Amino acid sequence: MGSRDQKVKWSWSSALIGAASATAAASLLSAKPKDPTFHLISIDLTSLKLNLPVLDAELMLTVHVTNPNIAAIHYSSTTMTILYDGTVLGSAEVKAGSQPARSCQLLRLPARLDGMELAQHARQFFSDVAKREMKLEAKLTIEGAAKVMWLDHSFRVHVDSFVTVDPVFLDIIGQENKSQMDLFLT
């Protein structure tokens, strides 16, 4: 008859381990994902190719990326679109990769600008060269997964960058970057 009358044995160590586990699980589950940040550090001209009657340019873009989240991310390759005066001027390739949690890294992105597209905006381009101020826009969508505990969570980050450069020396004068992350829990 004794099972109803048995006393439950209390253990402080079990209680502390349980409380710590519950707190850790609650903080992981309630941690709100933060948008990564992107900052264009430099633009380097790597080559000019004569494509009569215009020149095509190849560039190397150096971008500083910060992952402020508690999870490492793995992302697939994608293409960044570079726009000038509302039309596509070129593109930059982003190779698949990963980035640790709460870290920063530099990405070097090879880019190609189409001289024919730039020639169609010759009046605006020469005006920008005279002012030494050229406004470019870059659009990028990166998809990947972040592993939190034992689960992979898919995500998509869309980035819009508005960059003002000196078209003569390719110096970055100013920039504004907007990113939006969508996290998929399935």
pLDDT in tens, 2-57: 556 566 676 777 767 777 777 666 555 556 778 888 889 999 989 888 777 778 89
12: helix, strand or coil: helix
Which pLDDT score is estimated for 6?
Answer: 65
Q: What's the gap between Cα 166 and its chain centre?
A: 24
127: in domain: yes
The per-residue pLDDT of the chain, averaged, comes to: 85
Paired residues of 48 in beta bridges: 57
The verdict on residue 24 lying in a domain is no
**3-state class (DSSP) for residue 175:** strand
Residue 79 is assigned to a structural domain of this protein: yes
Residue 104 included in any domain: yes
Measured distance CA(145)–CA(183) in Å, rounded: 9
- Contact status, residue 118 vs residue 82, Cβ threshold 8 Å: no
Q: Which residues have C-beta within 8 Å of that of residue 44, sequence separation ≥ 6? A: 59, 60, 62, 170
Q: Is residue 74 part of a domain?
A: yes
* 68, 37 contact by CB (below 8 A): yes
d(CA 32, CA 23): 15
Say if 55 falls within a structural domain.
yes
Q: Tell me, what's the pLDDT at 16?
A: 74
The predicted structure's pLDDT at residue 120 = 92
**Residue 4 included in any domain:** no
**Bigger pLDDT: 161 vs 1:** 161
132: containing domain:
33-183
pLDDT top residue among 135 and 51:
135
Count the domains in the chain. Answer: 1
Q: Which helix (H) or strand (E) holds 128?
A: helix 122-131
CATH value at residue 138: 2.60.40
5 found inside a domain = no
pLDDT at 77 over 90: yes
User: Residues 16, 21, 27, CA angle at the centre, nearest 5°?
Assistant: 125
